[in-house]
């Protein structure tokens, strides 16, 4: 019997806000997370359509994977780009097949985009702020490096400072999506709450940046406007 999608935990927003459709939701597809089978993705899209405010974003971050493919899997730069785009194209086709099976009214509510579609001027500026903060090798640097080391450990790779700093590029390029919501170039909507299976150190850092006094100065530099949240689903 197939289990239905359920909310396990929410961060930064109450569960009731999801049930009451207060936010536009987004799904960030992970190429390394085995949870994202076709069956689970179908159920997650159905769940998102029920609970989103107006539309549901399916973000397929192909090029974002280049850092991981280069520094974790040791592919060349060209090979990393080629593999990342192949992974993105394959997953996009899978999503499009699922969407085409939905009623027309639901198809109109779904937006499919990739990482480059989300590179608005605001996003690019926030990414620069995060990279500058990382370069100071302070508490933020330590938190990002902890995430990078965990990523290397999970994949069974040798951990070194140089390698972890390279993998940190992935973390720094992903963070703005969670701190100010996702906006897609040439579209008006903002997608503020992600649906994702499982929480980890990355999510802990998002909460710290959003709420902790320790990161008040960084928050000011980031110019965070939108209220965001993370929904751990199962």
Break the chain into its structural domains and give their ranges.
Answer: 7-233
Residue with tokens 């640097």: 141
Superfamily of 7-233 according to CATH: Cyclodipeptide synthase (3.40.50.11710)
* Backbone phi, psi, residue 8, to 5°: -90, -45
Task: Say whether pLDDT at 179 is over 50.
Answer: yes
Residue 17: both structure tokens together: 């806000």
Q: Which helix (H) or strand (E) holds 11?
A: strand 7-11
The whole-number pLDDT of residue 1 equals 43
The whole-number pLDDT of residue 32 equals 83
* Sequence-ordered list of residues with C-beta below 8 angstroms from that of 205, at least 6 positions apart, any chain: 143, 144, 147, 175
pTM: 0.95
H-state helical runs in 33-120 = 38-51, 66-71, 77-100, 104-107
Closest CA to 231 of 206, 185, 199, 188: 199
Percent with pLDDT over 70 in the chain: 99
The whole-number pLDDT of residue 14 equals 97
> Is-contact 84 32, C-beta < 8 A?
no
Read off the pLDDT of each residue in 98-109 and give the average, rounded to a whole number. Answer: 97
Percent with pLDDT over 90 in the chain: 94
Task: Say whether pLDDT at 61 is over 80.
Answer: yes
Q: Which residues pair with 57 in a beta bridge?
A: 26, 111
pLDDT tens string 211-229? 999 999 999 999 998 999 9
Task: Say whether pLDDT at 2 is over 70.
Answer: no
pLDDT tens string 121-148? 999 999 999 999 999 999 999 999 999 9
């Amino acid at each position: 019997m197939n289990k239905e999608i359920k909310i396990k935990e929410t961060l930064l927003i109450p569960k009731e806000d999801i049930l009451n459709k207060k936010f536009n939701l987004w799904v960030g597809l992970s190429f390394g997370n085995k949870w994202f089978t076709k069956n689970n993705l179908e159920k997650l899209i159905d769940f998102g359509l029920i609970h989103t405010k107006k539309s549901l974003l399916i973000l397929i971050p192909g090029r974002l994977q280049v850092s991981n493919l280069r520094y974790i899997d040791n592919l060349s730069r060209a090979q990393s780009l080629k593999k990342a785009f192949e992974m993105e194209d394959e997953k996009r086709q899978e999503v499009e097949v699922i969407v085409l099976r939905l009623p027309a009214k639901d198809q109109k509510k779904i937006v499919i985009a990739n990482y480059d579609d989300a590179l608005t001027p605001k996003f690019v500026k926030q990414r620069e702020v995060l990279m500058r903060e990382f370069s100071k090798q302070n508490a933020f640097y330590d938190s990002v490096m902890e995430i990078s080391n965990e990523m290397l450990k999970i994949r069974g790779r040798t951990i070194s400072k140089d390698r972890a700093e390279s993998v940190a590029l992935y973390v720094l390029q992903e963070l703005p999506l969670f701190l100010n919501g996702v906006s897609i170039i040439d579209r008006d909507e903002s997608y503020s709450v992600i649906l994702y299976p499982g929480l980890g150190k990355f999510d802990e850092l998002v909460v710290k940046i959003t709420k902790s006094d320790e990161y008040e100065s960084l928050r000011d530099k980031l110019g965070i406007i939108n209220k965001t949240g993370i929904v751990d689903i199962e």
